[in-house]
Structure 1
Amino acid sequence: MADTAIQITRNGKPAVPRAAIHFDDRLRASGLTMAAAAVDTLQVNVGKLCNQACKHCHVDASPTRTEIMTRETIDECLRVVRDFRIETLDITGGAPELNPHFRRFVAEARKSGARVMVRHNLTVAFEDGQRDLPEFFAANRVEVVCSLPYFLAQQTDAQRGAGVFEKSVEALKRLNAAGYGRDESLVLNLVYNPVGAFLPPAQDSIEADFRRELAARHGISFNNLYTITNMPVARFLDWLRRSNNEESYMTKLVNAFNPATVEGLMCRRLVSVDWRGRLFDCDFNQMLEIGVENASPQTIFDFDPEKLKTREIVTANHCYGCTAGTGSSCGGSVA
């Protein structure tokens, strides 16, 4: 499986980074395996359309992308959530709000009793037809997870584009006004990833910095901050190669490999669904077109939690990103 992954190319080069020790070999040397557990989260990528084109984006999302999940596929995701009592529906993109079926997806999932999380880039709330997003989220008790590279404009705009920080601050204020980050039932979490080829600082430390600075400078409050390691795939891998940082960054990840992170990796309890309904072990594998192992159900239309919980997770060198230091996941550190 690893060899197949390595053969995938991007811009004429391997889409998976090189490493001195292959991730699979490192696992074996540590006496570890990557066996899945019961599926408690369905992470659904409803499309690659986005109002931004961030430099680090592993999805290659942008305003020009046309890949959008259909209503039929969304309905099948809803059936799976309902019939198999999936605990958490994690909706991502692109900017998932730009999918024309997004609001129905959220509302119907909430009716089924599932916890619904939305990966929200903040600035999409200023697009046509989206200005009532804070109120929509609040009415449906959606857990909002917002990406914010830093609490200062220079670093944020460098990664996301000119003017993004100002819009992000205004969007956070509007979420606060709707009760998010203030009402215990309206959860507002932030996601931080470094602006550059280095590992994130300790999650508790950077969360305290964000909490202090956003409150003092803008009167903004939030519930939690998650740190995520920049994954060496897609646009970030392109940048590493252009800047001659691929080898040094991968060396940092390899040297920081922490066996204690493996048990808590999100791929063990999550299944990722792409806009066409195909199944993957995680969102990063999805973007590399590395599907679940062949013996497992391949699409949301033949989803079987009993078969999926016995699968072996497909890994490659980019997986070092989730196992470095205290680990990384869509919910922050794992160890």
Structure 2
Amino acid sequence: MKSLKVLQNPLAQSENQLAILENQREHKHAPFKDKVAALGMFPLQASGVDIFQINVGKMCNQVCKHCHVDAGPDRKEIMTRQMMQLCLDVLAVSTIKTVDLTGGAPEMNPDFRWFVTEIKKQGKHIIVRCNLTIILANKRYHDLPEFFKANQIEVVSSLPSFTQDRTDRQRGDGVFEDSIKALQMLNAIGYGRAGTGLIINLVYNPAGAFLPPSQQALEIEFKTELANKFGIVFNNLFAITNMPISRYLDYLLSTGNYDKYMEKLIAAFNPAAVKNVMCRNTISVSWDGFLYDCDFNQMLDLKVTPGHSQHLSSFDLDALNNRNIILKQHCYGCTAGAGSSCGGAVAE
């Protein structure tokens, strides 16, 4: 599998990219907050915390070109069991019903399985963002499908295309073949099949500097192609717009596509998507316990509004339920076209 260069100074990168988004280019692109203000929705406020999204570490067996986390095999950031216990303590006294585990490859955290079983004891619904290839990466991961099934985990997995060439160009050589094998393993134990309650959803990200097509039409195409060619079934397809941050922003700048892409996002701004953006009902938790409005803000180190609890150690759900959302230029990515979130389109 091909490897891309992994950033060695993540904090410096987040600061530099934020400067690019907010300072060097803003004179060319209308501030996102002005768009929201014109709708009478500024400051944009949270509607309550329904989803607790936890990044358990940035270590990953892949180095995907579009990854907004800059995840890879060389990343050392990892959530400790002590921090996981703090998450559990917060969840135990909250009304939050859904826990969304992400990374990197979350399964590479050595305490991943312990964490999942402890969350399950609280009766929470668990989503795991599995890259599929981790299942085949090492023998110790081969039983992940059975572990997912035993804990009734909803699996969400990236698959940029139903063709090998396009998938491997975005995610690395051999990724498509391993992803297909992993999907077949999940299907074999009931995932994606009617009546089992075992949910497997796929995620599509565009491979270039363009917006995703209709999620509904794309889902039909994916289901037809994967079923006919490989006998694979799945529940839903999420079409997610690539956010102009991290590796994808580097790609846009290096190819001279930044301004054109931002213009596409702004031109496709959809007021109907604003009220349903994921930051309004989600709290994103970093591997070291800091709190963010969303996973994208986390990668730019934009913590929740100052004055609210910004770390698990001072978690205040009532305050977070009513907080103002931090808005920057990358937010255009969540409101373009049908809108975009970790659960796909928000305005269709």
Normalised TM-score (structure 1): 0.96
The answer (yes or no) to whether the contact 1:91–1:118 under 8 Å persists in 2 is yes
Alignment check: 8 A CA contact 2:17 2:246 kept = no
Counterpart of 1:275 in structure 2 is 287
Moved over 6 A (4+): none
Match of 1:32 among 26, 41, 64: 41
Q: How far 1:300 moved relative to its partner?
A: 1.2
Which residue number in structure 1 is paired with residue 205 of structure 2? Answer: 193
Whole-angstrom CA distance in 2 between matches of 1:123 and 1:269: 30
How far apart, in 2, do the equivalents of 1:262 and 1:59 lie?
23
Q: Tell me the alpha carbon deviations over residues 162-221 of structure 1, each in whole angstroms, 9 at most, x when there is no partner.
A: 110000000000000111001431001001111111110111000000000000000000
Shift in alpha-carbon separation, 1:221–1:94, aligned structure 2, 3 A: same
Distance 2:236 2:198 in 1: 12
Deviations 1:5-48, CA, capped at 9 Å, x for gaps: xx963379626564510101111122223101211110000010
Among 144, 148, 164, the alignment partner of 1:137 is: 148
CA–CA distance in structure 2, aligned partners of residues 104 and 167 of structure 1: 26
Summarize the alignment of residues 26-65 of structure 1 with structure 2, pairs less than 5 Å apart.
Answer: 26-33=35-42, 34-65=44-75
The one-letter amino acid paired with 2:117 is A
Aligned with 1:69: secondary structure?
coil
Query: Structure 2 matches for 1:107-118, cutoff 5 A?
Result: 107-118=117-128
| Structure 1 CA distance for aligned equivalents of residues 95 and 111 of structure 2 | 21
Structure 2 distance, partners of 1:48, 1:285, is 15
SS in 1 for 2:61: coil
Give the one of 161, 164, 167 matched to 2:172: 161
SS at match of 1:44: strand
1:70 maps to 2:80 = yes
Look up the SS of the partner of 1:80 in the other structure: helix
Unpaired stretches in structure 1, ≥5 consecutive residues = 1-6
Moved more, 297-306 or 214-223: 297-306
State how far apart, in whole Å, the 2-side matches of 1:13 and 1:60 are.
18
- Percent sequence identity over matched residues? 53
| Aligned 8 A contact 1:15 1:288 in 2 | no
1:226 corresponds, among 218, 225, 238, to 238
Equivalent runs, 1:73-152 vs 2, <5 Å: 73-128=83-138, 129-152=140-163
Q: 1:21 aligns with which of 30, 37, 41?
A: 30
**Which deviates more from structure 2 when the two are superposed, residues 17-26 or residues 309-318?**
17-26
Cα distance in structure 2, aligned partners of 1:12 and 1:76: 30
Distance in 1 between the 2:129 and 2:14 partners? 27
Task: Deviation per CA, 1:130-152: give whole Å up to 9, x if none.
Answer: 01000000000000001101100
Q: Provide the C-alpha distance between the structure 1 equivalents of 2:300 and 2:345, rounded to a whole number of angstroms.
A: 23
CA contact (8 A) 1:85 1:114 kept: no
1:174 aligns with 2:174: no
SS of 2:238's equivalent in the other structure is: strand
Task: Provide the C-alpha distance between the structure 1 equivalents of 2:60 and 2:161, rounded to a whole number of angstroms.
Answer: 20
For the structure 1 residues 206 and 27, does the alpha-carbon distance in structure 2 shift closer, same or farther, using more than 3 Å as the test?
Answer: same
What is the rounded CA distance, in whole Å, between the counterparts of 1:46 and 1:225 in structure 2? 24
Shift of 1:262: 1.1
